Amino acid sequence: MLIQKKIIQDVKNKCLQDHAVSACMMYGSFTKNEGDPFSDVEFYLFIDNESMNHFNSRQWISEVHPVDLLFFNEYGTQVAIFSNMIRGEFHFLTVSEMDIVKSFKPTGVFPDTESMFLYDSTGRLKSLLEQLEGPGPDRMTDENVNFTFNNFVNAWVLGLNVMRRGELARSLEVLTQVQKYVLQLIRVKEESVERWVNSTKNVESDISCESYRDFVSITSKLEVNELRNAYTNALNVVQGLYNTLVVSYVTDVDDTFIRKLYNYLDK
């Protein structure tokens, strides 16, 4: 048995024993039949309103499995680095905040909501999870494709400008945004948009070899010539994507504007 599955079971067992925990669900790879020895474990726990003020989340997590490091990340998520180097993410909310589950629907596809359910004493969690079933949001729309093209241009111009200023580290950082938007457009072209939010997940197997080579061409070391090549290649890749997608989608970007980007690249 994967140690992650033991941790998941231990979380469930602890919920059953702790009257302060009213409901618990998980998300992530193990709810999509993609869990492996390198996967995280991720949970939402809903605490009884009256118990929340004195609920000790650090102690609760530490009693599930030995922890080497426990902290809040920049998003307010409590992160555990367990002693076996498995990562755990924990969200502790009150029962009155359980409707947050409804907000998950626009983030992606939830193929097996039953696997997300761990424990519930309120009778509400199952029905909330059932609302996540069905197809995910439609990413292949004019609005979404146009948004992605526009944000590519924004990131591309910014990254090129700061590179020319000599801020190579910042340009490399911005390049990750350029890559994200290029990859999302590739996913639209190949109708592989299920992993839209985490677009790099399983990209090695999700997209064609040709598209993967395109993606590799827009990666870079922290070196000016490599960065310049990456930004040049990114524009070339997007030009090709535009030529393919403009047949089916309406965008603000057009041939005239792309030529202007090439002219700016050559300055």
Count of all residues that appear for the chain in the document: 267
Please say whether the beta carbons of 149 and 242 come within 8 A: yes
Distance CA 24, CA 118 (A): 5
96 SS3 class: helix
Band (267; pLDDT cuts 50, 70, 90): confident
Distance CA 110, CA 74 (A): 25
Between the CA of residue 150 and those of 58, 97, 108, 155, 238, what are the distances in Å? 43, 35, 22, 9, 11
Q: What is the pLDDT of residues 39-96, one digit of tens each?
A: 999 999 999 999 999 999 999 999 999 999 999 999 999 999 999 999 999 999 999 9
Q: pTM above the 0.95 mark?
A: no
User: Does 1 score more than 90 pLDDT?
Assistant: no
Band (5; pLDDT cuts 50, 70, 90): very high
Residue with tokens 């939830």: 110
- Set out the domains of the chain in order of their start, with CATH numbers: 3-130 (3.30.460.10), 142-265 (1.20.120.330)
Distance CA 125, CA 42 (A): 16
